[in-house]
Amino acid sequence: MTERLVIRRPDDWHVHLRDGAMLEAVVAYTARQFSRAIIMPNLAPPVTTAEAAGAYRQRILAAAGKGTDFTPLMTCYLTDTLDPGEVERGHASGVFTACKLYPANATTNSSYGVTDIQNIYPVLDVMQRIGMPLLVHGEVTDSDIDIFDREAVFIDRVLSKVIADFPDLKVVFEHITTSEAVDFVHAAGANVAATITPHHLHINRNAIFEGGIRPHQYCLPVAKREKHRLALRRAATSGSPKFFLGTDTAPHARSAKESACGCAGIFNAPFALESYAAVFEEEGALDTFEAFASEHGPRFYGLPLNEGQVVLERQEVVVPDHVGPDDANLTPFLAGKSLHWKFIPHTE
Ligand code: NCD
Ligand code: ZN
């Protein structure tokens, strides 16, 4: 039995760090496990200019603290009226790594999102030309489409068209949840990849209703049937360079989750690597874990692989019920459960 996993330092390609007190409370969890993270721009108001992204990056670095070896990679929130010149300048100056497409009203703080994909075609044109990745929240928002079908319908109605119209655009289909998404990414060119979260590898939709309503298992895109979870597990552990680590850690205060209308988002940063390692071990695929966590992402983004290593040691860890400054603010993913790996921070 493997007792110790030593892997190249990993990155997290999909993170919500928020701002203000919440940023202060959560940034260390991501910064201790990951070298770089793609920072989602769905603040209120959203990050739509290079200036705002630069200022947000400074706040993240300040919250992470001096001496922390952590690089936030910033993204631009696409709106119907965004100037393609702003995207191009922001990318050229090194502030924007990628752009994020939220269909309007698809999820938390997405009301400024895109109402019709045609509205951002001039931006996509620029992004294709300069090799800047488009990160996609892939769900239609039509209320007449069943919530469990919204990702599959998005592929048919929107994503297939974007890829046909921009054949060289780099696209990351974020937090995929369905076998349809897995099949779509496999069938597309090398310029199309996907992130997979730990929670979609661990839970299916039953978890949201297990003995009562479970707000801490609720996120968007919502977890699907078991057959989809199994398809995601096969994709993540396959060794295909098209699939890589993106936690979609999305903290909301307990009061906002445990509510009559609870927010979508699962806070998985505190035990992110341990929870992925559990899946790879269950699948008998620890040999592909390092590539998923530390190689496929940077290669897709065209960034260097990290130096240094992190270690996971076989040891039982129990996920606490609550974490955060007052010990009662946030409920982590898998609260109360045991994991069998302990994370040891990186060494040079
Ligand atoms: C995210 C959030 O809270 O910002 N929520 C979620 O359920 N994943 C937004 C998102 O990525 O959809
Ligand atoms: Zn997200």
pLDDT, tens digit (0-9, with 9 covering 90-100), for 21-47:
999 999 999 999 999 999 999 999 999
Average pLDDT over residues 10-17: 98
H helices of 65-131, in order, are: 84-92, 121-130
Cα–Cα separations (whole angstroms), residue 60 to 38, 54, 109, 114, 212: 12, 10, 19, 26, 37
Residue 230: its pLDDT value, please?
A: 99
pLDDT digits (tens, 9 = 90+) for 313-334: 999 999 999 998 775 689 999 9
CA distances from 235 to 61, 159, 185, 290 (A): 33, 19, 10, 14
> The dihedral of CA 36, 38, 43, 48: what is its sign?
positive
Peptide linkage before 45 cis (omega within 30 of 0): yes
CA distance 116 to 104: 9
H/E run at residue 298:
helix 296-301
* Cα 271 to Cα 86, 199, 320, 344, distances in angstroms: 36, 11, 10, 12
Mean pLDDT across the chain: 96
CB-neighbour burial class of residue 5 (10 A; exposed 0-12, middle 13-18, buried 19+): buried
pLDDT average, residue stretch 200-221: 98
Task: Output the pLDDT for position 108.
Answer: 80
**Does residue 308 have a pLDDT over 60?**
yes
**What residues line ligand 1, using a CB cutoff of 6 Å?**
16, 42, 107-108, 137, 219-220, 248, 250, 264-265
Among all chains, which residue has been given the structure tokens 């940077």?
Answer: 298
Atom of ligand 1 nearest to the CA of 102: 12
Cα dist. 333→21, 94, 247, 319, 325 in Å?
20, 33, 11, 8, 17
As a whole number of Å, the end-to-end CA separation of the chain is 26
Which one of 248, 287, 321, 327 is the catalytic residue? 248
The residue written with tokens 């919440």 in the block is 22
pLDDT for 235 beyond 60: yes
Site to substitute for ligand 1 among 77, 220, 224, 261, most atoms within 8 A of C-beta: 220
Q: Which uninterrupted H or E stretch holds 196?
A: strand 192-196
- Our answer to whether residue 80 is catalytic in this structure is no
Average pLDDT over residues 49-68: 96
Q: Which fold has domain 10-302?
A: TIM Barrel (3.20.20)
Q: Please report where in the chains the tokens 């924007």 appear, as a residue.
A: 96
Cα-to-centroid distance, 102 and ligand 1 (Å): 10
Closest ligand 1 atom, CA of 16? 4
pLDDT per position as a tens digit, 97-142 = 999 999 999 888 889 999 999 999 999 999 999 999 999 999 999 9
pTM above 0.95, yes or no: yes
Residue among 128, 174, 138 nearest 297 (CA):
174
